[in-house]
Chain A
Amino acid sequence: MAESTNLLQGTLDMLILKAVSLGPLHGYGVLLRIQQISGDRLEIQQGSLYPALYRLEHQGFLTSEWGDSENKRKAKYYRLTAAGRKQLQEETRHWNRMADIIAGILNTAREEL
């Protein structure tokens, strides 16, 4: 976990939605997938994952059901709902816009003013 970065406030929900959008996952799987995609550059507080999952399910972005995990043990699998897919698109668009704007500001050279 070299050069790990703390997660920006409020982005965990978006990352969870993204992770789950690639296929149903249990909680631990979500953690693994985010770390995998980020190339282990992101560190996620393990405990904060579950309240976020519960909140997303409560808001109707995720649904869950119990299923068999890789080692034949029962695990709770989360799946994206239609509303969740819309929400993910929305947040991705918003994030990209913000990132553009902020990058634009940060890249501004003195003479451009």
Chain B
Amino acid sequence: MRAGARFRSWLRATLLRSRMEREMESELRFHIERYTEELMRAGVPIEEARRRAGAEFGAIEARKEECREAVGLRLLDEFHKDLRYGLRALRKSPGFTTVAVLSLALGIGANTAIFSLIDMVLFEWLPVRHPDQLVLVWQQAATHDEIPLSQPLYSHIRDHNTVFSGIAAFHAFKNWSVRTDGAAEPATGQFVSGNYFSVLGVTAVAGRMLSPDDDGAAGGPPVAVISYGFWKRKFGLDPAAIGKVLHIFGHPFTIVGVTPPEFLGTQAGFLPDVTVALNAQPLIMPGGMFASAYDVGWLYAIGRLKSGMSELRARTSLNVLYQQFVMALAGPHLSPEEQRQFSARSLALASGSQGLNRLRRQFSSPLRILMSIVALVLLIACGNLASLLLARSAARSKGIAVRLAIGARRSRLIRQLLTESLIVAFAGGAVGLGVAFWLDALLLKIYGVGVEMKMQPNLQVLGFTVVVCLVSGVLFGLAPALRATRADLTSALKQTRVGCAPRRLDQLLVTMQVAFSLVLLVGATLFVRSLQNLRDVDAGFDRGHVLLVEQEPAPNGYLGPRAAKLYGELLARVETLPMVRSATIAEATPLSGPSWFESISISGYTPARGEEINVFFNHVGAHFFKTFGIPVLAGRDFEPTDNETAPPVIAINETMARRYFEKISPIGRATSAGTIVAVVKDAKYDSLRAQSQPVIYCPYFQSQASWNDAHTLALRAGGDPLQLVPLVRRVIREIDPNLSIRVSTMDELVDDSLRQERLFAALTTLLGTLALLLVCIGLYGVLGYAVAQRVNEIGIRMSLGAEPGNVLWLMMRQSLSPVAVGMVIGLPLAIMCARWTASLLFGLNPVDPISIALSFLVLVMSAGLAVYLPARFAARINPLVALRYE
């Protein structure tokens, strides 16, 4: 209660400050006047009475100060004073202030930027009711692969579990062709169970969400829910959108509602524009009823645990249910092989508070590395500022000594100096927030293509920035403040410039900065060299001038021969377009990931016992190798004549030729997939990093099994491939307006595949350079200051016969020894950190001697230059001037 009273009293005094001052004034005046009156009543003349009353009361201002202290205003007042003092001191040295604020802005800004990404990717919870109760459920294979649930399995769990108050299922797709009016456009879509929104607790901002009735077996008219973003983009937030019809792959769906703006789906980085019920699957993905397919795992399940249910108990209970399902229900629908696989699996559970977060796994290690890098940069910046402040505080030591001598308390002075550092830190932080925002936008732009996220500053990020400002302000401000106020009064007041040895703290700071920047430099060199290696990799294809056009014919009703006819017509029409050198289609384009693999037999090749010839298959059109610039090493490219009526032919890649046809020419050899007519160079399918696998190319028109699959149209252009886009668009619209397309170029694909590497190389180089610059500024500043302090001493040395060379070396040695120590410490540190990045490197060992040597060289040269300049100044000192120098 008393603490409460004190706080209320303090708050009143703080908030109603001017009133309190007024009242205090009149209260004290009242006292003095009453006393004066009393004295006068006792016969003292008025002048004398006034004098005595005032004298007995004492200094009125001092009394007031004591009263203020009594109600706890003193700290606040002193803080105000410190703030003013600090601002004045900083205004007086604009150079220092600018350098300090800018280097901190970069340091703090980089930290805030990476932290907000981490916060978003690794920590952000779904904006739904009680996200902490949600768990994800999937099948875990013995090989640790994660397999989504089949629809019958999901239904079984939904209907028979005792652990969830509700469990929903979802599956998201990237490329749905959606038409509201006008041409179809690609949109993101997802299938969800009817209870999805009620399990999550998401309510509509307009219309209604889906309900279990929408997901019934019979199914009424198909309905869809759209996202807030889609509503805004397509309908301008018009409430009349509810009830309108949109076409997904040409099938009509009635819009019944809009999800709230903060709801971004349950899969991180994937924002579904359109959400429909599971029962729409056969419409949108023709070729099977997943509702009764026991072997198609396609659904992620997210359940809400009953209150008091632990994850562990839920897992045990669910796995009993799972085994029951495999034995009794799924058994009859599965082959013996599948049954064996299924019983080796189990159900796995994980927290669903963030939804399905694949980004987490993909980005958590790079983000952690980036976070460490920016933390190092900030530490270097702090170290640098500490050295500058040390030099500055020495310059101010006389003023401080005077104040100590007349009785200022040391803690008070330290507080004052710390306030000054904190002003700098927070100014840096404020500018840093701007830097962070810009950096995040940039990072998302280069890094996050295809990842839809909302960047917005939130309380965590702001809190993080405030803490970083506080910590760094104290970090770089405390040691200089302690030392400045420990001044030896007599020598400080005399301020004679006697020579003083470099102090240990300065050297420690330099050592630390050098060690950390060596780490950063080695990292930067590694990433740059790794990127170089990747660029130099022979990808096996010619990336320039190739336009890629993706479309999905099957959901639009093109199946079997209809699809083949569509592609035949499409190819025939685009080949006649101007500027098109050649055109083809391909199931898998280079760098888009391999298609599927199959086992084959080769006549004349006897596999070893148990060996299976597993080969990647790619179904491609005529002129495929010409279009992608994949050199044909032997044999011929596919021709339009390689069609259904012609004998089946295949082409194989080098790796396959080497593995299965060691001594003989493969051309003309028969395999179970067809006769080999060509051997082509290896082309990278997965990524530039991956090793080549054996690949078989089959002509599309001879492979009826692949006719239902989407194939990418590829065009080699005579000039800029993007100029072809409007022409291709028109052709496709003329053939079928319901076909939506996505265009890209092979160049973009290559660049995209190196996005992470480019980003790391660019960022680490930038940050490494920044760190190096800071270290050099620090070295230059510290030695420059030392030289200025030792001018007298140097003068004496020179007049006693020291050569300029001796002086030069003397001064340089002083600075270079902590640099050398820093490098010795930094080397093992750098090697340790480099090992940590091994997974991000390509074609080089993390302990790469060339990278280390290069970093050493750069650091030594820059540090040498930074100390050479002030040392040369010392060597050129004129002894006559120096001796008189004060």
Contact = CB atoms under 8 A, between A and B. Distances in A.
B2 A54 contact: no
A55 B73 CA distance: 12
A4 B28 CA distance: 24
A65 to B, nearest CB: 11
B71 A47 contact: no
Interface stretch (A16-24, A71-79, A89-97, A100-108): A71-79
B71 A28 contact: no
A76 B23 contact: yes
B2 A28 contact: no
A66 B27 CA distance: 10
Contacts of B197: none
A51 B26 contact: no
A57 interface: yes
B2 A46 contact: no
Interface residues of B, number: 28
Interface of B: 1-2, 4-6, 9-10, 23-24, 26-28, 30-31, 34-35, 56-59, 62-63, 66-67, 69-72
A59 B67 CA distance: 13
Given A28-B35, A47-B62, 16 more contacts: A26-B30, A27-B30, A47-B57, A47-B66, A48-B66, A50-B24, A50-B27, A50-B67, A51-B67, A54-B70, A57-B9, A60-B4, A66-B23, A75-B30, A83-B2, A83-B5
A58 B9 CA distance: 6
B27 A58 contact: no
A19 to B, nearest CB: 15
A36 interface: no
B35 A59 contact: no
A62 to B, nearest CB: 10
Question: Which 6 residue pairs across A and B have the least CB separation, nearest first?
Answer: A60-B5, A47-B58, A51-B66, A55-B70, A54-B70, A54-B67
Contacts of B23: 66, 76
A45 interface: yes
B742 to A, nearest CB: 71
22 contacts: A26-B27, A27-B31, A28-B34, A28-B35, A46-B56, A47-B59, A50-B31, A51-B67, A51-B69, A54-B66, A54-B67, A58-B6, A58-B9, A58-B10, A58-B70, A60-B2, A60-B4, A60-B9, A66-B23, A69-B30, A76-B23, A83-B5
Output the residue of B5, B23, B26, B31 with the most chain A CB within 10 A. Answer: B31
Contacts of A66: 23
Contacts of A48: 66
Contacts of A28: 30-31, 34-35
Interface of A: 26-28, 31, 45-48, 50-52, 54-55, 57-60, 66, 69, 73-76, 83
A73 B30 contact: yes
B63 A51 contact: yes
Contacts of B26: 74
B71 A50 contact: no
A28 B71 CA distance: 20
A76 B57 CA distance: 18
B15 to A, nearest CB: 15
Residue from B2, B9, B34 whose CB has the most chain A CB atoms within 10 Å: B34
A48 B70 CA distance: 11
A28 B28 CA distance: 9
B30 A50 contact: no
Contacts of B59: 47
The residue among A26, A50, A58, A76 with the most chain B CB atoms within 10 A of its own CB is A58
Contacts of B1: 60, 83
B67 A46 contact: no
A27 B70 contact: no
A52 B67 CA distance: 8
Given A46-B35, A46-B57, A47-B57, A27 B5 contact: no
B19 to A, nearest CB: 11
B66 to A, nearest CB: 4
Contacts of A50: 24, 27-28, 31, 63, 66-67
B70 A51 contact: yes
Given A50-B66, A54-B70, A27 B27 contact: yes
Contacts of A60: 1-2, 4-6, 9
A64 B21 CA distance: 15
A73 B33 CA distance: 11
A28 B30 CA distance: 8
A58 B34 CA distance: 25
A59 B2 contact: yes
Contacts of B35: 28, 46
B5 A59 contact: yes
